[in-house]
Chain A
């Protein structure tokens, strides 16, 4: 009796289930390029109680600017760290942000130019992310974006970097067994459908903002009066900051572009790398390509020199392999291009109005000083490492 009476009901339920499944699948297919793995989309049962995150920084470092629309939370940082290290963000799932920004290289890849998922070489070197939270001018070598949140959106869709679309990535994240709940914990979303590229970028930016110097480099210890520098390091420091005139040392002029405690003002300069006939002749126009102002051609953002010994090769295109090569470049005093920073042209003691650069010994002293900026505690900080290992 029961069997007879229930048979039609099962068919009906089965039909409804099939139809509902088709409807759900069709809907998901429309929104998500990748086939759905998990359809548990309602996240309201997952607790949302974000914990405010205080970024650790040395006492003598400036306050870290935090955008009002992306407050720091522990959950946001944790999500950002996972996204940063997860190759899910690339077209063939082989490359993550960390592929070009490795902790050991002070969040560079130690390559002249980075290679994308298709094996295509980019035209510029990956910049260090050390103290990136302090950049209040523009990001990238050429200043083409204003914020870390905006920056984090770019590599995913760059055809010579991660070469995919955010639509694809968001589809993967929505259907991932864990990311929906991590987004919920970080941003309080109610449904996996609320995962967006903007939230992903916010999380990555939160993680990047915690990448602050440890304050344990030899230079930092010296600044705090805890240690003395070696004589050669001290001479290098005096020349670096143009403080050596009274002890017979020339100006290295370094600090004008790489000054203050973070050792960069994050401004843009033509630092005398290329000899060109006119400003239009710069092959890589840098800032000029962003502003459209020819006077900005050949200008690039001055990077921090903290951990510079760990982040070779150097310059925007990685053309210089060692710090010694960098010093040779600067000792040549530029080419006199009109928009070249004038300090590049005045390194060393003047001889009859000309600047011959630093002597080999003075150059070695500057390099010795640069090595005091190495911050191994930063690169080994467990909070910065790959969470999937």
Chain B
């Protein structure tokens, strides 16, 4: 009889604990929407569109970036949303040249958060791997964003052309293909983020701000400012651009 009572008690306890898990939605599943948007001078980025860049005209055809350890920060602590995401603003197969908004859903507890911390690029432990190490639905499976020669992911890819003299003919190209561990940067952007049942945040990356240093636009006519940063000679340029992501990040 005692055994039966004990079993009944255990069963009740088990049932109660099970019910508690299901009926205690402190964190509703995927209740928080994080959207990334690409802009140029505050306007939604558009491929092949002429943008004024100082006394030159610039146009873009690619912009994508990896983000590591995406984390909401607040007075009561941090909530990590993702280890890694790949945000491609200019995918193939879109009906027009407008850049796309890229959204992710996460589970976030209710609270008032004060900002978002982003790792710009691929953090070193993940960058030590390659696409073969990941399942096909993983952000780091993308083969086109991996440099086998440097054993690194391309953290950020900004690509386009420049019309140097405003004659509607592009004279030179620009490539900011930044990668390798030394260029990885982490920064927190502050802003009020409220989650009450649900929540949402839009994060913009502005390409004009990305190329603005100390109030000055990067001189894209200088050869060393146009090249990719995948070898040792261009690490400094990669660090310069990647560290400027913080200044190019705007919360909406």
Evaluate contact between A260 and B146: CB separation under 8 angstroms: yes
**B97 CB contact (under 8 Å) in A64, A262, A295:** A295
**A291 CB contact (under 8 Å) in B93, B135, B148:** B93
A144 (CB) vs chain B CBs: closest residue: B93
Evaluate contact between A242 and B148: CB separation under 8 angstroms: no
Q: Is A287 an interface residue (CB 8 A)?
A: yes
**B132 CB contact (under 8 Å) in A61, A268, A291:** A61
Q: How large is the interface on A (under 10, 10 to 19, 20 to 34, 35 or more residues)?
A: 35 or more
**B95 CB contact (under 8 Å) in A241, A266, A293:** A293
Which residues of chain B are near A137, meaning CB under 8 Å?
92-93
Evaluate contact between B148 and A342: CB separation under 8 angstroms: no
| C-alpha gap A290/B94 in the complex (Å) | 10
Evaluate contact between A346 and B173: CB separation under 8 angstroms: yes
| C-alpha gap A362/B59 in the complex (Å) | 32
| C-alpha gap A264/B135 in the complex (Å) | 18
Interface residues of A in 324-365 (CB under 8 A from B): 336, 338-339, 342-343, 345-346, 350, 353
Write the residues of chain A forming the contact surface with B, with a CB cutoff of 8 angstroms: 59-65, 134, 136-138, 143, 241-243, 245-246, 255, 259-262, 264-268, 287, 290-293, 295-296, 299, 336, 338-339, 342-343, 345-346, 350, 353
Determine the main DSSP class of B at the interface with A: loop
| C-alpha gap A245/B233 in the complex (Å) | 10
Which residues of chain B are near A268, meaning CB under 8 Å?
92-93
Evaluate contact between A287 and B92: CB separation under 8 angstroms: yes
Evaluate contact between B136 and A260: CB separation under 8 angstroms: no
Evaluate contact between A342 and B160: CB separation under 8 angstroms: yes
| C-alpha gap A134/B136 in the complex (Å) | 9
Chain A CB within 10 A, most for which of B93, B135, B223 = B93
Nearest CB of chain B from residue A58's CB, rounded to whole Å = 9
| C-alpha gap A65/B47 in the complex (Å) | 30
| C-alpha gap A240/B136 in the complex (Å) | 26
**B149 CB contact (under 8 Å) in A241, A299, A339, A345:** A241
Given A287-B92, A342-B159: A336 in contact with B132 (beta carbons within 8 A): no
Which residues of chain B are near A261, meaning CB under 8 Å?
130-132, 143, 148
Which residues of chain B are near A260, meaning CB under 8 Å?
130-131, 143-144, 146, 148
Evaluate contact between A62 and B134: CB separation under 8 angstroms: yes
Q: Is B206 an interface residue (CB 8 A)?
A: no
- The 7 A-B pairs with the shortest beta carbon distances in the complex, nearest first, are A265-B144, A65-B136, A342-B173, A260-B143, A241-B149, A243-B149, A62-B132
B230 (CB) vs chain A CBs: closest residue: A242
Interface residues of B in 139-175 (CB under 8 A from A): 141-150, 159-161, 169-175
Nearest CB of chain B from residue A234's CB, rounded to whole Å = 13
| C-alpha gap A349/B199 in the complex (Å) | 52
Evaluate contact between A290 and B93: CB separation under 8 angstroms: yes
B161 (CB) vs chain A CBs: closest residue: A342
A290 (CB) vs chain B CBs: closest residue: B93
A258 (CB) vs chain B CBs: closest residue: B144
Given A241-B149, A259-B147, A339-B61: A63 in contact with B92 (beta carbons within 8 A): no
Which residues of chain A are near B160, meaning CB under 8 Å?
342
**A63 CB contact (under 8 Å) in B95, B134, B223:** B134
| C-alpha gap A292/B97 in the complex (Å) | 11
Q: Is B96 an interface residue (CB 8 A)?
A: yes
What would be 6 A-B contacts, judged by CB atoms less than 8 Å apart?
A64-B136, A245-B233, A260-B130, A260-B131, A342-B61, A342-B174
